[in-house]
């Protein structure tokens, strides 16, 4: 049912975490992205921005997780980290893209996108974010 489409390059690294859609797992996901960012030599501000961005993405999606599951895919290469957080929802409503949470998320990431796609009578609700290190930007 899930097609998170992480980085297309064959040499990209990838971690996929499938877990219960409960707030108690969010600190673990924050720690994973921080570890990846530190290993990719992101500066401390970027590491913290990624931690907060993952927190915001999860907070947006957790309430709509119809099956009680959350998937988080981390992929990275050469100063670029992509994170996709997704849940299966009962409705296509994915919240307000002008709200404070979305504004915060887009400020923390190089780019961010929300999508909802039909999936077997339900909807795959997804937040995808990208953060590039300052040295990786042209």
* Res 71: pLDDT: 97
Dihedral Cα 60, 133, 24, 113, nearest 10 deg? 20
CA distances to 1, 14, 84, 135 from 10, in Å: 22, 10, 18, 22
* Res 3: pLDDT: 44
* Res 9: pLDDT: 59
Vertex 28: Cα angle to 101 and 47 (nearest 5): 65
Model-level pTM?
0.87
Helix, strand or coil, per DSSP, at residue 92 = coil
Helix, strand or coil, per DSSP, at residue 97 = coil
From first to last of its 138 residues, the chain has per-residue pLDDT tens of 344 444 455 678 999 999 999 999 999 999 999 999 999 999 999 999 999 999 999 999 999 999 999 999 999 998 899 999 999 999 987 666 778 889 999 999 999 999 999 988 999 999 999 999 876 555
């Amino acid at each position: 049912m899930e097609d998170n489409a992480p980085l297309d390059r064959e040499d990209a690294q990838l971690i996929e975490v499938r877990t219960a859609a409960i707030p108690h797992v969010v600190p673990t996901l924050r720690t994973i992205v921080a570890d990846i960012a530190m290993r990719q030599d992101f500066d401390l501000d970027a590491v913290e921005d990624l931690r907060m961005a993952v927190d915001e993405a999860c907070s947006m999606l957790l309430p709509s997780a119809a099956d009680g599951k959350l998937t988080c895919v981390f992929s990275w290469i050469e100063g670029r980290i992509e994170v996709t957080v997704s849940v299966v929802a009962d409705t296509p409503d994915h919240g307000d893209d002008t709200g404070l949470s979305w504004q915060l998320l887009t400020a923390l990431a190089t780019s961010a996108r929300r999508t909802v796609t039909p999936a077997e009578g339900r909807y795959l609700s997804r937040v995808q974010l990208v953060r590039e290190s300052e040295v990786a930007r042209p």
